[in-house]
Structure 1
Amino acid sequence: MILVTGGTGLVGSHLLYKLVSENVQVKAIYRRTHTLERVKHVFSYYTENHKELYDKIEWIEANLNDVPSLELAFKDIDYVYHCAAFVSFEPNKYYQLRNINIEGTANIVNLSISNNIKKLCYISSIAAIGNEPNPDQLITEQTEWNPEADNSVYAITKYGAEMEIWRGTQEGIPAVIINPGIILGPGYWKGGSSGNLFRLIHKGLKYYAPGSTGYVDVWDVCDIMFKLMQSDIINERYILISKNLSFSEFQKKIAQTLQVKPAKKEASPFILEIGWRLDWLISKLFGKRRKLSKQMAKSVRTKTIYDNSKIKDALQIEFNSIDNAIDKVSKYYLKDITKP
Structure 2
Amino acid sequence: MILVTGGTGLVGSHLLFQLLKSNEPIRAIYRREKTLARVKNVFSYFSDDAETLFNKIEWVEADVNDIPKLQDAFKGVTHVYHCAAFVSFEPNKYIELRRINIEGTANIVNLSISHKVKKLCYVSTIAAIGHHSNPEKLIDEQTEWSPEDDNSVYAITKYGAELEVWRGTQEGLDAVIINPGIILGAGYWNGGSSGSLFKRIYNGTPYYTSGVTGYVDVWDVTNAMEQLMKGSIKNEGFILVSENLSFKSFFTKVATYLDVKPPTKEAKSWLLGIGWKLDWLNHKLLGKRRRLAKQTAKSAVSITNYDASKIKNSINFEFKSIDTSIEEVSKLFLKHL
| Same-fold call, TM cutoff 0.5 | yes
The sequence identity of aligned pairs, in percent, is: 64
Q: Which position in structure 2 is the counterpart of 1:255? A: 255
- Matched-pair contact (CA < 8 Å) for 1:30–1:61: yes
CA distance in 2, matches of 1:208, 1:230: 41
Show the counterpart of 1:68.
68
- Render the CA deviation track for 1:279-317: whole Å, top value 9, x for unaligned: 111112221111110011111100110001000001102
Q: Residue in 2 aligned with 1:111?
A: 111
In structure 2, the residue matched to 1:311 is 311
Paired residue for 2:57?
57
Displacement after TM superposition at 1:272 (Å): 0.8
Q: Which residue of 1 aligns with 2:41?
A: 41
In structure 2, what is the equivalent of residue 93 of structure 1? 93
Structure 2: any 5+ residue segments left out of the alignment? none
The DSSP-based 3-state class of the residue aligned with 2:18 is helix
Residue 195 of structure 1: how far off its partner (Å):
0.3
- What is residue 234 of structure 1 aligned with on the other side? 234
> Does the 8 Å CA contact 1:21/1:53 hold for their aligned counterparts?
no
How far apart are 1:67 and its partner, in Å? 0.4
Paired residues of 1:77 and 1:117 also in contact (CA < 8 A): yes
CA-based RMSD: 0.6
| Contact 1:238–1:310 under 8 Å retained in 2 | yes
What SS does the corresponding residue of 1:222 show, helix, strand or coil? Answer: helix
Cα offset for 1:247? 0.3
Larger deviation, residues 275-284 vs 165-174: 275-284
Q: Tell me by how many angstroms 1:47 deviates.
A: 1.1
- How much has 1:169 moved relative to structure 2? 0.2
Q: Deviations over 1:114-151 (max 9, x none)?
A: 00000000000000000010010000000000011110
Q: What SS is found at the alignment partner of 2:244?
A: strand
Q: Match of 1:123, as an amino acid? A: V
Aligned counterpart, 1:297: 297
Q: Indicate the residue corresponding to 1:186 in structure 2.
A: 186
Alpha-carbon distance in 1 for matches of 2:238, 2:126: 10
Aligned twin of 2:275: 275
Question: So what's the TM-score if we normalise by structure 2?
Answer: 0.99
Residue in structure 2 matched with residue 265 of structure 1 by the alignment: 265
Offset at 1:161?
0.1
Structure 1 contact 211–247 (Cα < 8 Å) conserved: yes
- Shift in Å, 1:325: 0.5
- Give distance in 2, aligned partners of 1:304 and 1:26: 37
Shift, 1:206, TM fit: 1.6
| Structure 1 partner of 2:138 | 138
Q: Aligned residue for 1:163?
A: 163
Correspondence for 2:21? 21
The amino acid across from 2:202 in the alignment is H
Q: Tell me how far apart the structure 2 counterparts of residues 131 and 292 of structure 1 sit (CA, whole Å).
A: 21
**8 A contact 1:216–1:243 mirrored in 2:** yes
Deviations 1:133-179 (A, max 9, x none): 00100000000000111100000000000000000000000000000
Question: Structure 1 segments of 4 or more deviating over 6 A?
Answer: none
CA distance in 2, matches of 1:114, 1:317: 33
The answer for the alignment partner of 2:125 in structure 1 is 125
Equivalent residue, structure 1, for 2:336: 336
Q: Using the alignment, how far apart are the partners of 2:245 and 2:160 within structure 1?
A: 27
Q: TM-score, normalised by structure 1?
A: 0.98
Question: How many residue pairs align between the two structures?
Answer: 337
Q: Which runs of 5+ in 1 are unaligned?
A: none
Letter in 2 for 1:160: G
Q: Deviations over 1:49-99 (max 9, x none)?
A: 222111110000000110001001000000000000000000000000000
Equivalent position of 1:205 in the other structure: 205
Code of the aligned partner of 1:301: V
Alignment deviations for residues 10-63 of structure 1 (CA, whole Å, 9 cap, x no partner): 000000000112212100000000100110110111111222111110000000
Distance 1:162 1:93 in 2: 19
